[in-house]
Amino acid sequence: MSTGGWPALLREIIELSGDDLGLRDLLGRIAQIVVTASNADVCFVHVVDREAGELVLRGATPPFDAVVGTVRLRIGEGVAGWVAEHGVPTVVADKWQDPRYRYIPALHGEDFSSLISLPLLRQRDRVVGVLNVHSRRADHFGSEDVARLTEVAGLLAGIVENAVLVDRLATREAELERFAAGAIETQERERRRLAADIHDGISQRLISAWYHLRAARTAPAGGVEDELVATEALLAEALDEARRAIVGLRPAVLDDLGLAAGLQSLAASMAGVDVAVDITPCALPPHVETALFRITQEALQNVVKHAESHHVTIGLREGEGGVTLSVVDDGVGFDTAGPRGGLAYGMDSMFERAALVGGRVEIRSQPGAGTSVVVVVPYERLLSGAGVDD
């Protein structure tokens, strides 16, 4: 590595950090600068994803910029994973002789012989990423390269960390915009449903009761009692409809007894289907309880409408990654890649509700093999308290 242009190289990196570039473009430019300065062939910038315990390729020189974001290594896996785990640089003169090396087809390791791998270190030796520089020639990197590239890695650590934080903030803002739009749509859908319930149920019964009371005023003596009996029946039905509408807004059982009891009540309300409940009580924020209750309710409605199922199992568990809800039936199933027909509304609603609390939904099904709906809400989203009640 030439030392004559070294200060200029450092200045170029510093100036680059001030440009208005996205994370991918910034790291790609940095990778190209490192390759040029070290007279190497390719450079990969891996960033630590602490939540997943992985390294993610976030920057690379062409043509490998095409696979940025698709290559992941567990911390400790491969040379880069080893460097991320131990926080020290390493030079591999011939990677085919190094037991730490892991071949990744997308990165064409067969084209390169030697490499230098350096940790991007922040305060208290915290690794935020790994810089991998490869050469087609064996023994390409010497002690001078280690010293110079270690200096580069120290400079890049702060730049990379700041760029990752900005990228995550932009991603989070986009997610919040989608969640807000989803929340508004969900609330509007609930309002439309409630308005339809009131119009078609409660208001119609109240109007009928009013007509019966009017009729009672002019009915002959023997007919008054009949009109009042009909009015009483209609008012009782209207009251039941009102109670159901209130429960539809926020099930009282959630406030009084929690999600476990709420899921038990849903199971008990299923007529003609055997429902088993396997629940571990979990202390969850109210908005998460509401979302999981509604998703279960929607899944069970789909079972009644579409599944032709005889047995359903509702499960709720706490695990290492978070809280998992499952609704599994033994019904007719469906092709998840095909048209969903009447299932579409319910499935979309489940995905929206899960997204609003930071969770994810996986629906597994095939014709003749039943359907399983699995919802996972990670612990970090439970602790953050983010979400929307409906």
Low-confidence ranges of the chain (pLDDT < 70): 1-10, 16-21, 175, 179-180, 182-183, 186, 244, 246-251, 337-346, 381-390
β partners of residue 73? 55
Position 151 scores a pLDDT of: 81
- Fold held by 253-390: Heat Shock Protein 90 (3.30.565)
Position 166 scores a pLDDT of: 76
Position 5 scores a pLDDT of: 53
CA–CA dist 184, 61 (Å, integer): 43
**Answer CATH for 6-171 from 1.10.645.10, 3.40.50.1820, 3.30.450.40, 3.60.110.10:** 3.30.450.40
Place of tokens 């960033």: 47
Q: How far is CA 64 from the centre of its chain?
A: 27
DSSP 80-146: HHHHHHH---EEES-GGG-TT----GGGTGGG--EEEEEEEEEGGGEEEEEEEEEESSTT---HHHH
What residue ranges do the domains of the chain occupy? Answer: 6-171, 253-390
Position 282 scores a pLDDT of: 84
Tokens at residue 46, please? 């891996």
Domains 6-171 and 253-390 share a fold: no
Tokens at residue 119, please? 């940790």
- What are the b/e assignments for 356-379, b being 16+ CB within 10 Å? bbbbebebebeeeebbbbebbbbe
